[in-house]
Amino acid sequence: MILRYAEAKRLLVSGLLDHGGEMAERAAVVDARYGEGHVLLFAGNPLWRGETVGTYAPVFSAIGNFDRLDAGTSPEPGTP
């Protein structure tokens, strides 16, 4: 897990979202290894129409840093 939502008392939840507290402390961005690469999973669609410009940052960060997703992790046993 790369990023998670804050605890329920710290979330700023829109009035249009039902049961927003259910997303508290859940994963927002997950890095899943797939074969020799990675898949980034976003809890919401950050490029959906009507989203704020601030939601684009995780996508652009992922595009710009695609080759450094293993930074700070130890290699799996048996890999060169």
Per-residue 3-state assignment (H helix, E strand, C coil) for 8-45: HHHCCCCCCCCCHHHHCCCEEEEEEEECCEEEEEECCC
pLDDT at 77 over 70: no
Q: By three-state DSSP, how is residue 54 classified?
A: helix
State which residues form the domain around 61. Answer: 3-15+27-68
43 within domain boundaries:
yes
Q: How many domains does the chain contain in total?
A: 1
pLDDT at 17 over 70: no
The rounded percent of the chain whose pLDDT value lies above 90 is: 5
80 within domain boundaries:
no
Nearest alpha-carbon partner for 29 in 58, 49, 53 = 58
Average pLDDT over residues 11-39: 82
53 within domain boundaries:
yes
Give yes or no for a contact between 29 and 40, defined as CB atoms under 8 angstroms apart: yes
73 within domain boundaries:
no
* Verdict on whether the full-model pTM lies above 0.95: no
How far is 8 from 4, CA to CA, in rounded Å? 12
